[in-house]
Amino acid sequence: MTAAGWIVFLVAVLGMTGLLVWCVFKVVSTPGSEDHLHSPADIDTHDT
């Protein structure tokens, strides 16, 4: 693989890893986020 190929590969892998880490951090560190979580039993679909 050429040097350009390695650069593109590393940028892509590091970019996706960074995005994953940022998303997980945002989900874990947001205060009050547990108030916005709903389980399927909490959802009213107005079917009945």
Q: Would you state the pLDDT for residue 17?
A: 98
Helix-then-strand count for the chain, H and E: 1, 0
Per-residue pLDDT, 31? 82
Which tokens hold the place of 28? 């874990």
Distance separating alpha carbons of residues 33 and 36, to the nearest angstrom: 5
Q: Which tens digits make up the pLDDT trace of 1-48?
A: 899 999 999 999 999 999 999 999 988 888 876 677 766 666 677 776
Amino acid letter at 38?
Answer: H
